[in-house]
Structure 1
Amino acid sequence: MNETTAGADQYVPTDARSLADLRAAAPDCQGCELYRDASQVVFGRGDADARVVMVGEQPGDVEDRKGLPFVGPAGHLLRRAVDDARLPVDQIYLTNAVKHFRFQQRGGRRIHQTPDRVHIVACRPWLVAEFALLRPEVVVVLGATAARALLGPSFRVTQSRGRALPWPDSAQRVQDFPVGPAQVVATIHPSAVLRADDRETAYRGLVADLTVAGELLAG
């Protein structure tokens, strides 16, 4: 990595005892170049005792401006899907694999750009630190970027979505993560529903996948 992608290791406090400690330190992170153009870091939100952790890709334009994950259009759709899947909202912790918004400026608009692997790797220490303080029963992986960050580059959401998987799966062992939750459920990112030609079908698929997570909690 060059100096702009040195990674977040030096910015993650080794003595963090709470998510609040991590959240307070995150704004100083310059582990990759994304901090330069983003408005602010967008850290996870939710209770440390949450039974479900949902991991997405990166903040979007609205999240970057407000400093909170999943508060834009995709976040509103996710909340509706969570309700339809009967998941307990107060038992969900929301975060992203990459904490800064990557975008391309086009006139007055900021167009989302998918994070590269270098950004996922650079930001990984924050995700590891979050999981060290979380003890969920289920992790919901939202989309390919989150899947690569958590389960390795060989994992394919399209092949494994909507299934209860062990954490970590022996075929994609994630060595540097703390002992994790019992189950993982992968699904599409809610933004994929917004981009779909047939939104209703895509939405039903998202709800069906989230319902599997709910059944694990109940089970």
Structure 2
Amino acid sequence: MTAYDAGPYVPDGADVSALREAAAGCRGCPLYADATQTVFGRGEASARAVLVGEQPGDQEDRQGEPFVGPAGKVLTRALDDAGIDPDDVYVTNAVKHFKFTVPERGKRRIHQQPSLREVSACRPWLTAELELIAPQVVVALGATAAKALMGPDFRVTRQRGKLLTPDPPLDGAQVLATVHPSAVLRAGEGREAMYESLVTDLRVVAEQLS
């Protein structure tokens, strides 16, 4: 079985800019082959909160930036409603390449959930980002990000909205899990209630940063 591991591509002692440049050439798992490009994190190294999503979507893959599609607009609004300064936030994903399928008679690329192997393979990039930024709080947006940070048995539905200490610890940072903004978009009639619950969870982060 082919090893999935981005570790050999992560340079030692690199700053965020150098990490981003190196990640563009990552071949740590097969997802790079079909994706347009690597989508690395965005934000200042001085950010006090890191928000981790699952993976880039279609628009993120095309533009090369995280959270620039419809879910990103929901997240931007929620951060504002929660009172979190955008300069205090670094946004990234657990997986840096877009995983998708194209229906036989369609052209639209349909999101596919990354596998545990793919999430594990990409973990060295996320670890490097977190070590450099050393945030106070890491927000896991959705189940994939939460499991990447807290382990495969973690359930967002049971422990969302709480400040938790991961094992192993992240240099003193606490982790808060909540829903992914894309879940708000899929919520139908319950969209507003789910959005408000996302904002409520983010307000816990805002209080921690104040």
Scaled by the length of structure 1, the TM-score of the pair is: 0.91
Q: Does the aligned pair in 2 maintain the 1:52–1:91 contact within 8 Å?
A: yes
SS of the residue corresponding to residue 28 of structure 1 reads: coil
Q: Which residue of 1 aligns with 2:199?
A: 207
Partner AA of 1:179 in structure 2: D
Aligned residue among 8, 11, 26 for 1:10: 8
SS of alignment partner, residue 129 of structure 2: helix
Q: Does 1:110 align with 2:101?
A: no
Residues 62-211 of structure 1 aligned to structure 2 (within 5 Å)? 62-106=59-103, 107-166=106-165, 168=166, 173-174=167-168, 179-181=171-173, 183-197=174-188, 198-211=190-203
3-state secondary structure, aligned to 2:40: coil
Give the residue type in structure 1 aligned to 2:177.
A
Checking the alignment, whether the CA contact within 8 Å between 1:131 and 1:180 is kept in structure 2 is no
Q: Which runs of 5+ in 2 are unaligned?
A: none
| One-letter amino acid of the structure 1 residue matched with residue 207 of structure 2 | E
CA drift at 1:15: 3.2
Unaligned runs of 5+ in 1: none
SS at match of 2:74: helix
1:216 aligns with 2:181: no
The count of corresponding residues between Structure 1 and Structure 2 is 207
| Partner Cα distance (1:216, 1:15) in 2 | 29
User: 2:32 and 2:77 mapped to 1: Cα distance?
Assistant: 31
- Which consecutive segments of 4 or more residues in structure 1 shift more than 3 A? none
The 2-side partners of 1:10 and 1:164 are apart by 32
Report deviation, 1:178. 5.1
Per-residue deviation, 1:127: 0.7
**Which of 26, 37, 40 is the matching residue for 1:29?**
26
Paired residues of 2:4 and 2:117 also in contact (CA < 8 A):
no
Question: 1:94 is matched by which residue type in structure 2?
Answer: V
What's the CA shift for 1:194? 0.5
In 1, Cα distance between the equivalents of 2:4 and 2:130?
A: 21
- Normalized against structure 2, the TM-score is what? 0.95
CA distances 1:29-55 after superposition (whole Å, capped 9, x unpaired): 011110000000000010111011000
Identity of aligned residues (%): 58
